Amino acid sequence: MTSLKDKVLFITGASRGIGKAIALRAARDGARIVIAAKTAEPDPRLPGTIFSAAEDIEHAGGQALPVVVDVRDEAQVQAAVERAAERFGGIDILVNNASAISITGTAETPLKRYDLMMDINMRGTFACAQACLPYLKKAANPHVLVLSPPIDLDPKWLGPHPPYTASKYGMSLLALGMAEELRQSGIAVNGLWPRTIIATAALNVAKQGLAERGRTPEIMADAAYQILISDSRTCTGTLLLDEQVLREAGVSDFEQYSVTPGVAPQIDLFVNP
């Protein structure tokens, strides 16, 4: 494949940030995007709703279906998938982008926050994949892309924030497991993670000023695009970094993605320099 034209993408958490950037990149090809996210009303701290994202996607050349979805809710996920298939005739690609984060240790992580991370990160990834599976099996070049990191058991990634690490590595394990399970069906399942921090509104809320040392979400969008246009029967079962994917695609200028030109971007969690 050389294009995502007319492909149907079901993207969780696509109202802003990386999810929206992936949607906009696909929209430039004329893809059809299901914006499956919770935000229907504007949040002063986190700009963007499913409806504003839909407008931007259509301006970029795609078609958009905004749907309010809490990935923790099985009924909402199933209804959104069925609505997407009814509107667009099927689903070709699932992007599991929705995620919750808490960089806290065992004593500092309330069980409510622990449950939130496990429910959104792991359960949501599984629920969306399970609901989309019947349609993916009918697609010509089906992909599931999970935004989760390479698995590195170095204690420095385990000790400081065990709950968050477990939830993100759980997503990666699901990706690897489903890749093997679905290999014979021709459904690709891969993980993608940024080598450096990505400047999103959520990052600014978490730590003011940190985004200035990051890269823009477009680097993840461009890397995701390269994976999603690849042959689903050969590109599967990998946990990739955005920079790695783009270098293999011939990209050498990464300054174009820098928020602050000339400033070396900060390496992200779960990535060794």
Q: Looking at the domain assignment, is residue 266 inside a domain?
A: no
CB 229 within 8 A of CB 188: no
Q: Looking at the domain assignment, is residue 2 inside a domain?
A: no
Nearest Cα residue to 195 out of 270, 259, 96: 270
What average pLDDT score do residues 30-41 get? 96
Query: Is 34 a residue whose pLDDT tops 70?
Result: yes
Q: Looking at the domain assignment, is residue 272 inside a domain?
A: no
Nearest Cα residue to 270 out of 181, 200, 196: 196
- Of the two residues 46 and 245, the one the predictor is more confident about is 245
What average pLDDT score do residues 205-227 get? 87
Q: Looking at the domain assignment, is residue 39 inside a domain?
A: yes
Cα of 204 vs its chain's centroid, Å: 19
Q: What is the CATH number of the domain that holds 157?
A: 3.40.50.720
CB 5 within 8 A of CB 29: yes
Query: Is 60 a residue whose pLDDT tops 60?
Result: yes
Confidence bin at 71 (pLDDT 50/70/90): very high
Nearest Cα residue to 4 out of 95, 66, 73, 76: 95
- pLDDT of 204 reads 66
Q: Looking at the domain assignment, is residue 262 inside a domain?
A: no
Q: Where are the alpha helices (DSSP H) in the chain?
A: 17-27, 50-59, 74-88, 111-117, 124-136, 155-158, 162-181, 201-206, 218-228, 242-248
pLDDT one-digit tens code per residue, 145-160: 999 999 999 999 999 9
Residue 146, beta-bridge partner list: 96, 191
Residues ≥6 apart with Cβ < 8 Å to 257: 215, 216, 218, 219
What average pLDDT score do residues 48-53 get? 96
Percent of the chain whose predicted confidence (pLDDT) is above 70: 98
Nearest Cα residue to 64 out of 9, 111, 19, 107: 9
Confidence bin at 205 (pLDDT 50/70/90): low
Q: Looking at the domain assignment, is residue 177 inside a domain?
A: yes
- pLDDT of 169 reads 98
Tokens of 268: 């992200």
Nearest Cα residue to 215 out of 202, 201, 203, 198: 198
Query: Is 201 a residue whose pLDDT tops 80?
Result: no
Task: State the Cα torsion 183-77-206-113 to the nearest 10°.
Answer: -100
What is the gyration radius of the CA atoms in the chain, in angstroms? 17
CB 259 within 8 A of CB 212: yes
pLDDT one-digit tens code per residue, 82-97: 999 999 999 999 999 9
What average pLDDT score do residues 20-46 get? 94
Number of domains forming the structure of the chain: 1
Domain of residue 59, residue span: 8-257
- pLDDT of 6 reads 98
Compute φ and ψ for 57, nearest 5 degrees.
-65, -40
Confidence bin at 207 (pLDDT 50/70/90): low
Of the candidates 114, 164, 169, 257, the residue annotated as catalytic is 164
CB 14 within 8 A of CB 37: yes
Q: Looking at the domain assignment, is residue 270 inside a domain?
A: no
Rounded Cα distance, 255 and 108, in Å: 37
Q: Looking at the domain assignment, is residue 214 inside a domain?
A: yes
What average pLDDT score do residues 211-216 get? 89
Query: Is 43 a residue whose pLDDT tops 90?
Result: no
Say whether 164 is catalytic.
Answer: yes
Average pLDDT, the chain: 95
Q: 């809710």: which residue's tokens?
A: 73
Compute φ and ψ for 59, nearest 5 degrees.
-65, -30
- Of the two residues 10 and 46, the one the predictor is more confident about is 10
- pLDDT of 42 reads 86
Query: Is 208 a residue whose pLDDT tops 70?
Result: no
Nearest Cα residue to 18 out of 237, 270, 268: 268
Q: Which of 38-52, 102-116, 233-247 has the lowest mean pLDDT?
A: 38-52
Rounded Cα distance, 107 and 189, in Å: 34
Tokens of 31: 């893809």
